A and B are shown apart, each in its own frame.
Chain A
Amino acid sequence: MEAGDGEEELTAQETAVYDRQIRVWGVDAQKRLSKSHVLVSRITGAAVEFCKNVVLAGVGSVTLMDDRTVTEDAIQANFLIPPDENKWKAPLRNSAVIQRVQPNGDLADFEEEFFDKFDVIVVSSCSLANKKKINNRCRRRPKRTAFYTIDCRGSCGEIFTDLQDYTYGQKYPSFEEAISLSWRSLPKKVAKLFFALRVIENFEQSAGRKHGEISMSDLPDVLTLQKQLCEAQCSGTFACSRCSKHPPVCAILGGILGQEVIKGISGKGDPVKNFFFFDTTDGKGIIEDISAAD
């Protein structure tokens, strides 16, 4: 993020449109935003909310990629796709900022150099294996690329952030490092959702399912796996695994992640380290720091 050294001024139009938010984060932050490039892999309901938020904030570009075709389900959760569309070209018409669309392929299979084009990579609806893989690739590049995951599972949601060595001497663990920590070593009151989502993820991986491809009939198997994984540590939170998207939760997650990415790019405010959970059942939006003690 070399941007934002103040050499270019915002145009009068930009100043007028961004007036209210410049009052929140200042002109320099706005300039840095305008030079940043964001890649979003898989356009889920929560990811669309996120895209809308960062486009409004005034990022330089958002690149969308999705290897899936539009389904009824996707339309239900997505306000960028008019119901009669069957391609991902729709978002192009909606915003000048959303410049590029990479319709095919899985981000995990792309050349690593591809990652260098972006300051921020956000993945959604991504398998456990690919989350680890993409995150680790980001970390191997000489350029620091912030990596985020965002997933809405029914009435619950999770955001993971890896800013590597962002600032304040904070070291962020990779997704793989964070989830490999011994559960016993974690603080006592870590949100149950953290454990529940790891169980679900593991189940999907071991059963060869896609992200979110899970139903009530899987409950016995999930519970067995849960038992193996956490013994007495967490109680059943199966409710969160239902894959149907819950738009208010998508809005909340997309809002929080939007804020986090804006903080990360602009250097203003303290970014979350390193998980955020929202659960409609208790209404709490919780930050958990899941990293090895120094």
Chain B
Amino acid sequence: MASEQQLPVVKGARVLMVGAGGIGCELLKTLALSGFEDIHIVDMDTIEVSNLNRQFLFRQHHVGQSKAKVARDAVLKFRPHISITPHHANVKSPEFNVDFFKQFNVVLNGLDNLDARRHVNRLCLAAEVPLVESGTTGFLGQVTVHVKGKTECYECQPKPAPKTYPVCTITSTPSKFVHCIVWAKELLFAKLFGDKNQDNDLNARSSHSDSSTDPIEDIFERRLDEDPEQYGRKIYDHVFGYNIESALANKETWKNRNMPKPIYSRDVLLNKTDSSVVSAMTSLGLKNSQEIWSLVDNTRVFLESLKLFMRKGKRYIHDIGNLVFDKDDQLAVEFVTAAANIRASSFGIPPHSLFEAKGIAGNIVHAVATTNAIIAGLIVIEAIKVLQNDARNYRMTYCVEHPLRKMLLMPVEPFERSKSCYVCSETALLLEVNIHKTKLKDFIEKIVKRKLGMNCPMVMQGSTLIYEEGDDLEDDVFAQLPAPITSGTILMVEDLQQELSCNINVKHRDVFDEEKEHDQMVLTGWTPAPPAEDGVGATNGGEAAADVREPDEVATAPERSAVVVGNKRKLSEISADSSVQRENENDGVSCKEMPAEVVDDGEDDLVMLDDGAWEVGKKPRSSLQ
């Protein structure tokens, strides 16, 4: 129970929890024990086996059921008389509009993705409801408080863009295991089992090296009567053998690199394998997912899993052509692991176990119960302060793995809002485009939705409506729209659900850097994270730490927390060892960027341990009412 002064405000409060996962389960329990009596939960997810190590309100027999509903039932068992309202739905759906948010005294986030966090931030700003935000990864975590007019909003801090890899690194010159995983997952898997109409760079290299001989498309097309084993070997020999040989023909590429070696299935497998069960591993007698397979085993797993995918009667047969890699699909993980390992072997990159490959491919966030429990406790402490309107005592708190100045839990005073934040300060943005080349379609997708995080946008030029969500988008470029957009045009972009609008000044530019600005659109005036390309910027800590990092960066994340405690902040306290070395992957060949991450991992827990970038140019709040 909360203390006597706190009890009335706690009992009378209506609270919205977004997320009933790792943090959510702990939070709901702690809220109920603390005396909260009116709690709403929104979560679109269902329970999975890998949740059971920490989401303690769930049991094995709940797998597949709504998290929000099961969490409610579990808590009502020990607190039967309180009101818990579950919503098994996406928080971005229209029913959760500003009016919905207005009924709450405080919103508590336990989310697993940046997109939803930004959306909730905007609704909280529009509804003027305080937000307590949180995230965890492994032993790290943080809680922050966002109250309109008193502290910064969630989006005042730069949020690093997802990590991407140049396409040519993936298709031709991988140097790390993660490159092989991205290749196996995004290119090969998608090519074989995904949507055939999607652009795919798998053959980028071989097609331009000798384009005359081979009608590439036919290689991946399986003839109706084709034996699955033979088909598998054909694919294998093509992607690991033929394609590598074709690439070797381009001598320029290998001047300063180790040459890859082509691998053909006949050289690896001396005799033909044939067996048939659900998992390729099981059918091949491979049990330990921690083990690193030999090239022979990888080849067998590759062929076997391909065959299992192709076999009639399997559930996959209906989905082939629509499959997207899913980390919870054992067969898909096996296929991607084997393919990545074979490719790694070509390029002299050390192979990895299925367990490790799954972590990389599925972008799996490390998660333990204890950190979530601690973070949930801190959320409730902040929520109670918010309800008491005790603004002087609001704190952001960081939970760290190794004590910093004797502290495992470090409170920091919240920051003032950023004047350049287009979300909570009405700052206009600048968009540089080539008005004769930039399509409205790309502007909507890449800038308005992806960069500005709008869900349901509308674009106006003066009083003319240029775009409304749901409109069909033609390939019209800016200058040729019915109401042409030219240099100097001011666009007003608005999301009615988020009640967010901002002005964008359009400026024409002819030339863009093909590598760094391959979208041919540059948005400025807001605060994107600087790209971590020189190892000095190092600002990719935080959210990216969990969202998009490579596994080998995990260990450095905690060290990068430059947290200053109490009221005093000194730049000297910011740890200097923060650089995330990102090797220079460009080799002079012009490359577009390729997202490293596709799946929004269904896990909770993004951490945003900052690395000091936000210290620069930030001031603590000078006054609080």
Contact = CB atoms under 8 A, between A and B. Distances in A.
Interface of A: 9, 15-24, 27, 45, 49, 52-53, 56-58, 76-83, 154-155, 242, 244-252, 254-256, 258-259, 262, 269-270, 272, 276, 278, 280, 282-288
B219 interface: no
Given A56-B369, A81-B78, A255-B373, A19 B53 contact: yes
A23 B3 contact: no
B370 A83 contact: no
A250 B377 CA distance: 8
Given A252-B409, A255-B377, A17 B50 contact: yes
A284 B370 contact: no
Contacts of A154: 3
Given A20-B366, A283-B409, A53 B53 contact: no
In the complex, which of the residues A53, A155, A249 has the most CB atoms of chain B within 10 Å of its own CB atom?
Answer: A53
Nearest to A155: B3
Contact of B365 (A20, A22, A283, A288): A20
Contacts of B359: 23
A288 B378 contact: no
B574 interface: no
B402 A247 contact: no
Nearest to A85: B78
Interface of B: 1-3, 26, 29-30, 32-34, 49-50, 52-54, 56, 75, 77-80, 138-139, 287-290, 355, 359, 364-374, 376-378, 380-381, 384, 395, 397, 399, 401-403, 406-411, 565, 603
Given A52-B56, A256-B408, 10 more contacts: A9-B288, A21-B53, A21-B369, A251-B377, A256-B374, A282-B411, A284-B411, A285-B409, A286-B408, A287-B408
Given A20-B603, A248-B378, A251-B30, A83 B78 contact: yes
Contacts of B408: 256, 272, 276, 285-287
Nearest to A49: B373
29 contacts: A15-B289, A20-B54, A20-B364, A20-B368, A21-B367, A24-B139, A49-B373, A52-B56, A52-B369, A56-B53, A56-B54, A57-B53, A57-B370, A79-B33, A83-B79, A248-B30, A249-B377, A251-B29, A251-B30, A252-B378, A252-B409, A255-B371, A256-B374, A258-B370, A272-B408, A278-B409, A280-B381, A285-B407, A287-B407
A15 to B, nearest CB: 7
Quick one: which of B365, B374, B403, B603 has the most chain A CB within 10 A?
B374
B89 to A, nearest CB: 25
Contact of A21 (B77, B287, B368): B368
A242 B6 CA distance: 14
A29 B52 CA distance: 18
A262 B397 CA distance: 23
B53 A18 contact: yes
A288 B2 CA distance: 27
B288 A246 contact: no
A248 B1 CA distance: 9
A283 B370 contact: no
A27 B288 CA distance: 11
Contacts of A58: 53
Contacts of B26: 251
Contacts of B32: 79
Given A81-B78, A252-B409, A285-B407, A76 B139 contact: no
Given A20-B368, A259-B370, A287 B403 contact: yes
A288 B54 CA distance: 29
Contacts of B365: 20
Contacts of A77: 1, 33
B569 to A, nearest CB: 16
Contacts of B371: 255, 259
Contacts of B289: 15
B402 A270 contact: yes
Contacts of B377: 247-252, 255
Given A23-B366, A252-B378, A284-B407, A269 B401 contact: yes
Contacts of A80: 78
Contacts of A246: 1-3, 34
Nearest to A242: B3
Contacts of B33: 45, 76-77, 79, 247, 250
B374 A252 contact: yes
Given A17-B52, A251-B30, A286 B407 contact: yes
B298 to A, nearest CB: 20
Nearest to A76: B1
B53 A258 contact: no
Contacts of B369: 21, 52-53, 56-57, 255, 258
A15 B353 CA distance: 14
Contacts of A252: 373-374, 377-378, 409
A53 B371 CA distance: 10
Closest 9 CB pairs of A and B: A285-B409, A251-B377, A283-B411, A255-B374, A247-B33, A255-B373, A252-B377, A248-B377, A248-B380
